[in-house]
């Protein structure tokens, strides 16, 4: 009962809260265009660097996937090649099978997590570049 007067000021159920406006009051000076452009270029460079790191992770994942696809045939060929052990190479067949299996391992969880974090960073940098390209105004929700 004590909170009843406050409840009357709440928005109706299901109504979304009003989006905050991303504008300064009128009469403010224009932003420094050179500084905004500099930040935009910095963001573009950072995004390019992050994309290169993402590409490297994606490349390692694709290579591992190709090894995994070829692994059964490679293991079969390894088994056929090393069926007769030579006195100097008793463990070579086992080592070759282990090495082939290592090449086909999927990315570790840390690398996959890193890729997702990098993807989020690229999205954020791309949004910042877009916002700075139009004079630093934020998009309205």
Percent of the chain residues topping a pLDDT of 70: 82
Quote the domain boundaries for residue 71.
Answer: 32-82+91-141
The DSSP call for residue 42 is: H
Q: Specify if 121 maps to a domain.
A: yes
Q: What is the mean pLDDT of the chain?
A: 84
Q: How far apart are CA 4 and CA 10, in angstroms?
A: 10
What mean pLDDT is predicted for residues 61-77?
91
| Coil/strand/helix, residue 46 | helix
Domain count, the chain: 1
- The predicted-structure confidence for 7-58, as pLDDT tens digits, reads as follows 777 777 776 666 656 678 889 898 899 999 999 999 999 999 999 999 999 9
Instruction: List pLDDT tens digits, range 105-118.
Output: 999 999 999 999 99
C-alpha distances in Å from residue 114, one per residue of 2, 3, 55, 66? 50, 47, 12, 21
CA-to-CA distance for 108 and 112, rounded, in angstroms? 7
Q: Distance (Å, rounded) from C-alpha 76 to C-alpha 83?
A: 11
């Amino acid at each position: 009962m004590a909170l009843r007067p406050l409840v009357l000021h709440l928005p109706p159920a299901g109504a979304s809260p009003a989006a905050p406006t991303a504008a300064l009051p009128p009469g403010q000076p224009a932003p420094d265009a050179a500084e905004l452009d500099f930040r935009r270029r910095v963001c573009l460079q950072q995004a390019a660097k992050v994309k290169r790191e993402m590409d490297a992770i994606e490349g390692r994942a694709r290579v591992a996937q190709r090894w995994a696809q070829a692994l059964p045939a490679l293991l079969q060929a390894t088994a056929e090649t090393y069926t007769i052990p030579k006195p100097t190479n008793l463990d070579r067949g086992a080592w070759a099978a282990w090495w082939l299996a290592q090449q086909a391992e999927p990315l570790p969880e840390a690398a996959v997590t890193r890729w997702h974090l990098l993807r989020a960073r690229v999205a954020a940098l791309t949004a910042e570049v877009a916002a700075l390209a139009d004079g630093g105004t934020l998009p309205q929700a």
